[in-house]
Structure 1
Amino acid sequence: MRVLIQVPTRIPAYKYGGTNRVAWCLGKELVKKGHEVLFLAPSGSSSDFAEVIEYDPSKGLEDQIPSGVDIIHLNHEFEHWPETPFIFTQHGNFNHYPLPLNTVFVSQRHAERHGSDSYVYNGLDWDDYGSVDLNGRRSFFHFLGNAAWRIKNVKGAIDVVRHTRQERLEVLGGHRVNFRMGFRLTLSPRVGFHGMVDDHAKIKFLRQSKGLIFPVRWDEPFGLAVIESLYFGCPVFGTPYGALPELVRSDVGVLSTSRSELTTAIEQSEDFSPLRCHEYARDEFNSELMAQRYLKRYEMILNGQTLNHVEPAMIGGHTRQFLEWNK
């Protein structure tokens, strides 16, 4: 099968990289399975396992599809969808109109919020992450995500740690002074800020962390930070919103809307097995499983079937900007 994967940001991912990281892992896995993969990606992209076609925003999408492509895998919304058979993965929450019949979401909850039952969990190529030391010394907790997004609730993560006796938080993806959040200044010496870290720095922190603190205040579509943390043996302490109840089982973390409950939970983080967290992420959220699931859907589309009976659309819109977070 000849598959064209469109990505909205440069590949390979260097720092944050959500959608492009998943698309990269999918492409690599499809090549391993004997398929030909091409990427349609922004200027500056490169790949050592697939041809990269530079996307030209001044041209229409259809004009940039090479001949002989069996199916296009889109990861970004377009005003005009192509005539060539395609599948579209909706990675975010911010669509305001019906989506194509062949839309896939990234969790069951994400799909349900759009009136759909079509979803494929994200998976990562764990070989890209190097070795995992599950017996090493762990001395802090971490927050991983874009702290400038208030819905990610880094303030809540900081409050959880500040109410412990002596735990420390390392914020990966934010700064001590943040004007975008209405001038937030964090003075606590028990909180460190590291900005948007690259993969090398991120992995170094995850190897030494006791757990991820992730009290998001929106319906998280999936949460790569969750599975990356689990892979390195870090239990997850977050809120029960979006996909988190699907990803965070009781044996790998605690979900609550209460700061005090999460504070108590992280002080008992040693009750969780790093090995159990690691094995769960490795076995359930890998790129091979993701590729198998997408291949089934590619075949359905090429056989003339659709993935949804009606065009998916956000049910009720975004009625609440911030979901509940209690002290």
Structure 2
Amino acid sequence: MTVSDAPPIPRPARPPRDALRIAVVAPPWFELPPRGYGGIESVVADLVDSLAERGHEVTLVGSGHHRTRAARFVRVFDEPPSERLGTPAPEVIHAAAAGAALAELDVDVVHDHSLAGPLLARGRRVPTVVTMHGPVDGEQGEYFTALGDSVDVVAISDAQRRLNPGINWVGRVHNAIDVSSFPFRADKDDHVLWLGRFSPDKGPHLAIDAARAAGLRIVLAGKRSEPAEREFFEREVRPRLGRDAEYVGEADAALKRELLASARALAFPIQWEEPFGMVMIEAMACGTPVVALPRGSVPEVVDHGRSGLVVRDLADFPAALSLAADLDPAACRRHAERNFDLPVMAAGYERLFRAIVEGQRSVRALTGPRPSLRRLRERGVSA
């Protein structure tokens, strides 16, 4: 584990009053920002930069090299253990190293995006805020429910929060992107795009079937590095490929933007209650409407009839893919700017952190120990 001070970052002309000292713990699996796949890592890197730009002092805990504006970087793994994604040892090592480093630092709040890290929250003198990036049912839901009020949990969608009211939710902040980094194109090519991880939950095979039924060409790009992803691709996707259905590999940041900007629509036939689909806001930022099923966060993210079309079932998907070309690309871009740009997300977290820290300070002055902050859900800190 190494700790380094990053080069000085430019501060805004008018920093916020009482700037916060925030420690951000990233998952151990990829660098920040990631060079390819890594949706959580992209969000974390953007949030770190945005909070720093707003005048806060940010310490980042992560793996490999970082290209963020964090004032201090704690490196746990010299090389991210990406090939071991999902195995327990790297998570546990990461949590232990992060906990040891943070115990030596003077911070106001810890914002933890890892899986094992929140286990250390109960013994910490400052509050630990956890963003729930994944599902809240099953074993992961049981885990965060068991953590109780030792952590203050942020939902990334209202749909996610409704699925498990037993978790100590303190607010909701939608994920965001740097909209200005995505190219806007009003003139579109005549093809549909599917972009994501090759899994039955993401529905790439369903996207191919719907595009073919609509008489439209479809381009697919995405991750298939894990055994289950490769098996699914070979079984369900490869047999469907042809002249009107092309797989172009896993898209890096540049190719992803090119594909999103040129497509007439993004096909998003999601098959699970996904808490938040980043690719939807990336598409809208490029002026590309989203055609999706109403699962998970979709109804919160897509403005039906303006930035996309939300259809009830797969039978309506082909027609919606055809009709999406009639939507205004500029309206898609405006929707992304107003609701899912980085300043919106950063302001939401800033309000939430400040409410938690100030609530903690006021009660500790009277009682000493860290209080339950469940009441913050009533204080309007959601963004």
* Contact 1:174 1:193 survives alignment (8 Å): no
Question: Are 2:287 and 1:233 equivalent residues in the alignment?
Answer: yes
* Contact 2:265 2:289 survives alignment (8 Å): yes
* Contact 2:241 2:247 survives alignment (8 Å): no
Alpha-carbon deviation of 1:127? 3.2
> Which secondary structure state, in structure 1, belongs to the residue aligned with residue 171 of structure 2?
coil
Kindly report which structure 2 residues correspond to 1:87-98, keeping only aligned pairs within 5 A, or say none.
Answer: 87-93=129-135, 95=140, 96-97=142-143, 98=145
Q: Distance between the aligned counterparts of 1:89 and 1:120, measured in 2?
A: 9
Match of 2:112 among 74, 77, 93: 74
* Contact 2:49 2:68 survives alignment (8 Å): no
Q: Distance between the aligned counterparts of 2:100 and 2:222, measured in 1?
A: 37
Alpha-carbon deviation of 1:181? 5.2
| 2:265 equivalent in structure 1 | 211
Q: Distance between the aligned counterparts of 1:53 and 1:244, measured in 2?
A: 35
* Contact 1:150 1:181 survives alignment (8 Å): no
Q: Distance between the aligned counterparts of 2:154 and 2:21, measured in 1?
A: 20
Which AA in structure 1 matches 2:66? S
* Contact 1:6 1:75 survives alignment (8 Å): yes
Question: Are 2:166 and 1:106 equivalent residues in the alignment?
Answer: no
Q: Distance between the aligned counterparts of 2:132 and 2:148, measured in 1?
A: 10
> Which secondary structure state, in structure 2, belongs to the residue aligned with residue 183 of structure 1?
helix
Q: Distance between the aligned counterparts of 1:127 and 1:20, measured in 2?
A: 19
Match of 1:278 among 333, 338, 350: 333
Which AA in structure 2 matches 1:122? N
CA distance 1:296–1:213, change in 2 (3 Å) = same
Kindly report which structure 2 residues correspond to 1:1-327, keeping only aligned pairs within 5 A, or say none.
Answer: 1-8=20-27, 9-55=30-76, 57=93, 59-65=96-102, 66-78=104-116, 80-82=119-121, 83=124, 84-93=126-135, 95=140, 96-97=142-143, 98=145, 99-101=147-149, 102-115=152-165, 116=169, 118-129=171-182, 131-134=183-186, 136-147=187-198, 149-165=199-215, 167-173=216-222, 178-180=230-232, 183-184=235-236, 185=238, 186-250=240-304, 251-304=306-359, 308=374
Alpha-carbon deviation of 1:36? 1.1
- Unmatched segments (≥5 aa) in structure 1: 312-327
- Unmatched segments (≥5 aa) in structure 2: 1-19, 78-92, 361-371, 378-383
CA distance 1:254–1:307, change in 2 (3 Å) = farther
* Contact 1:142 1:213 survives alignment (8 Å): yes
| 2:3 equivalent in structure 1 | none
> Which secondary structure state, in structure 2, belongs to the residue aligned with residue 104 of structure 1?
strand
Q: Distance between the aligned counterparts of 1:141 and 1:204, measured in 2?
A: 13
Which 10-residue stretch deviates more, 301-310 or 120-129?
A: 301-310
* Contact 2:76 2:97 survives alignment (8 Å): no
Which AA in structure 1 matches 2:263? S
Alpha-carbon deviation of 1:206? 1.2
TM-score (norm 1): 0.87
> Which secondary structure state, in structure 1, belongs to the residue aligned with residue 172 of structure 2?
coil
* Contact 1:76 1:90 survives alignment (8 Å): no
* Contact 2:185 2:329 survives alignment (8 Å): no
| 1:231-276 CA distance string (max 9 Å, x none) | 1111111110110011112222222242231101111222210000
| 2:80 equivalent in structure 1 | none
Alpha-carbon deviation of 1:189? 1.5
Identity across the alignment (%): 24
Q: Distance between the aligned counterparts of 2:223 and 2:23, measured in 1?
A: 34
| 1:49-97 CA distance string (max 9 Å, x none) | 5432112626354212141111111112226233032210010005132
* Contact 1:104 1:307 survives alignment (8 Å): no
* Contact 1:111 1:117 survives alignment (8 Å): no
Which AA in structure 2 matches 1:286? D
CA distance 1:179–1:77, change in 2 (3 Å) = closer
Alpha-carbon deviation of 1:309? 5.1
* Contact 2:203 2:270 survives alignment (8 Å): yes
CA distance 1:159–1:50, change in 2 (3 Å) = farther
Which 10-residue stretch deviates more, 149-158 or 185-194?
A: 185-194
Alpha-carbon deviation of 1:118? 2.2
Alpha-carbon deviation of 1:144? 1.3
* Contact 1:88 1:100 survives alignment (8 Å): no
TM-score (norm 2): 0.74
